[in-house]
Amino acid sequence: MGDSKPERLIDENGRRIDGRRPDELRPIKIEVGVLDKSDGSAYVEFGGTRVFAAVFGPREAHPKHLALPDRAILNCRYHMTSFSVEERKPLGMTRREVELSKVIREALETVTFLEEFPRASIDVYIEVIQADGGTRTTGLTAASLALADAGIPMADLIAAVAVGKVDGQLVLDLCDVEDKYGEADMPVAMAPRFNSIVLLQLNGRLTPSEFKKGLALAQKGISEIYKLQQEALKKRFSTSKPLEV
């Protein structure tokens, strides 16, 4: 699986390797409140990418000398299981996981009213159980739902998706093979109510005009995801059936 580059990533009908159109999201599944022992949680699937997120807090910051007098600390750990990827990931945090934990945390900080909880900490844990492209955007989408589920006040939800360039064409919501053999991968996360970007990275090569088109494509995907998030939250607060993965 994924061992060698497919001859073409987009066929003569403009269909992608998994049959999608360029501007089409993968099937998305969202459930909120899936883990009992955390204060808030969510499970999100974007195709083969599967992620749990859980939130603990606000609670007293620990150790105490890390507490801030005027706001809560937001900690975030993005982590993958060893078997979520093609080659077994070593135990412990890789440099990639350290970096992604940072940019995800910064995105979450942007929309969270941390000033309401001086001296507290809010801890966000993201666990990728299967990685098929877009794990950071899926993780961030899940994390913002888990924060909402925990009742942490936020200015907006965060919806996130990657856009990319594959066989010269801009596509929405890259899967793993497209990420690996494509020309660019650009994860984008937004606070849609504010039309603000809260996470942005580019790994690859785009012309400025491709960048602009790619961003528009991401915005389209984000508005779809945002709707699904709101539906999932509504469902959460009307019922609470157990999760089936």
Partner 1 sequence: MFLTSKKDLTARIMRDKIYNLLLQDKRIDGRHPKSLRSITIQTDLIAKADGSALVTMGGTKILTGIKVEVGSPFSDRPDEGIFTVNAELLPLASTSFEPGPPDERGVELARVVDRSLREGKALDLKKLCLVEGEKVYVLFIDIYVLDYDGNYFDPALISALAALATLKIPKYEVVNGEVKKTGETFRLELTSLPFTVMMGILGEKFLVDPQIEEEKVLDVSLIIGTDEKGNIVSIQKNTSGPIPVNLLDTILDTAVEKTEEIRKKFLQEVPVKLAAEGEAAEK
Question: What is the footprint of a second copy within residues 50-69 (CB under 8 A)?
Answer: 63-65
Q: Please tell me the count of residues contacting a second copy according to CB under 8 A.
A: 3
Q: Please tell me the count of residues contacting partner 1 according to CB under 8 A.
A: 76
Interaction between residue 90 and a second copy (CB under 8 A) = no
- Token representation of residue 239: 């019922």
Query: Contacting partner 1 (CB under 8 A), which of 9, 25, 54, 161?
Result: 54
Peptide bond preceding 6: is omega within 30 degrees of 0, i.e. cis?
no
Q: CB under 5 to 8 A by kind: which of partner 1, a second copy, none does 63 bind?
A: a second copy
Angstrom distance (rounded) from CA 161 to CA 172: 8
- Using the minimum distance from each CB to a second copy, give the nearer residue, 65 or 205: 65
Q: In whole angstroms, how close is the CB of 114 to a second copy at the nearest point?
A: 23
- Using the minimum distance from each CB to a second copy, give the nearer residue, 63 or 90: 63
CB of 85 closer than 8 Å to CB of 133: no
Please tell me what DSSP assigns to residue 65: G
Residues 154, 34, 134, 224, Cα dihedral to 10°: -60
Q: In whole angstroms, how close is the CB of 24 to a second copy at the nearest point?
A: 44
Interaction between residue 13 and partner 1 (CB under 8 A) = no
Angstrom distance (rounded) from CA 178 to CA 165: 8
Beta strands (DSSP E) in 94-183 are: 120-130, 159-166, 169-172
Binding residues for a second copy, rule: CB under 8 A, are: 63-65
